[in-house]
């Protein structure tokens, strides 16, 4: 069944609470401002769910769809199109495998549904086109309030993207320079050994900076 904004808010709140507890148990650096910012965004994010479902209901009412067809569209058609879209646009292998399992489950329910079997090919294609438009609208509506994901989405929307080297830098900073209350880093806790200071290591590989040219200064003195 479609989830309401209250259900979505409750589940998101539980996820944030779990992240907060994990950070405290593992002595990760506390980021109270970040968690507070995320919590403040939850009501707006959850409200978009009701707004999106209202658009879906309006489309189904304008199409004069009967109750069984509405249930089929919301509980079978939209889920399978959504998960197919998410699987195709997810690069993380672990997340893709989990999403693919969900996709296969809803796909089996969709193809064996009595209403799906009754539809001719051209009608099924029209329904699929409508569902695809709704899924894309949901993605565009939610990305604006997803914090970092929203910022990344805007970068990609501007056709600039994010440099791949920056991903590597963030990974190194997190593993070797993100310190817990006891001064340990994720890398030192995982490998159970100490590592050289990241900042000092980077400085050790930087040669002397070239001296600035004095041509402009000499021209200013003679001018």
Q: Average pLDDT of each block of 10 consecutive residues along the chain (223 residues)?
A: 69 84 77 78 78 84 82 90 87 86 91 91 91 80 52 58 73 85 83 87 82 62 52
Integer angstrom CA distances of residue 86 from 98, 185, 217: 11, 33, 58
**Model pLDDT, residue 81:** 92
Contacts of 21 (CB under 8 A, 6+ apart): none
The pLDDT value given to residue 1? 47
pLDDT value at residue 129: 92
What pLDDT, on a 0 to 100 scale, did the predictor assign at position 222?
54
What pLDDT is attached to residue 65? 75
- Residue 153 pLDDT: 60
CB neighbour list of residue 135: distance below 8 Å, 6 or more residues apart:
78, 81, 82, 85
Token reading at 9 = 């808010």
- Please answer whether residues 159 and 167 qualify as being in contact, where contact means their C-beta atoms are separated by less than 8 angstroms: no
Sequence-ordered list of residues with C-beta below 8 angstroms from that of 60, at least 6 positions apart, any chain: 69, 70, 73
């Amino acid at each position: 069944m479609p989830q309401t904004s209250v259900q979505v808010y409750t589940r998101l709140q539980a996820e944030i609470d779990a992240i907060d507890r994990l950070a405290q148990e593992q002595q990760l650096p506390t980021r109270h401002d970040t968690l507070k910012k995320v919590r403040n965004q939850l009501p707006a994010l959850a409200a978009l769910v009701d707004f999106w479902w209202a658009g879906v209901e309006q489309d189904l009412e304008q199409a004069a769809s009967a109750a069984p067809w509405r249930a089929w569209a919301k509980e079978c058609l939209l889920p399978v199109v959504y998960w197919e879209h998410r699987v195709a646009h997810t690069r993380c292998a672990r997340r893709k495998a989990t999403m693919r399992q969900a996709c296969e489950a809803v796909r089996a329910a969709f193809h064996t549904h009595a209403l799906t079997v009754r539809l001719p090919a051209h009608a099924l294609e029209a329904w699929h086109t409508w569902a695809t438009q709704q899924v894309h609208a949901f993605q565009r509506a939610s990305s604006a309030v997803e914090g970092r994901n929203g910022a990344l989405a805007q970068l990609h929307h501007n056709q600039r993207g994010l440099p791949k080297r920056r991903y590597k830098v963030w990974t190194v900073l997190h593993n070797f320079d993100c310190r817990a209350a006891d001064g340990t880093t994720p890398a030192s806790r995982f490998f159970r050994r100490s590592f050289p200071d990241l900042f000092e290591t980077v400085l050790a590989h930087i040669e002397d900076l070239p001296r600035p040219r004095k041509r402009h200064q000499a021209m200013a003195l003679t001018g």
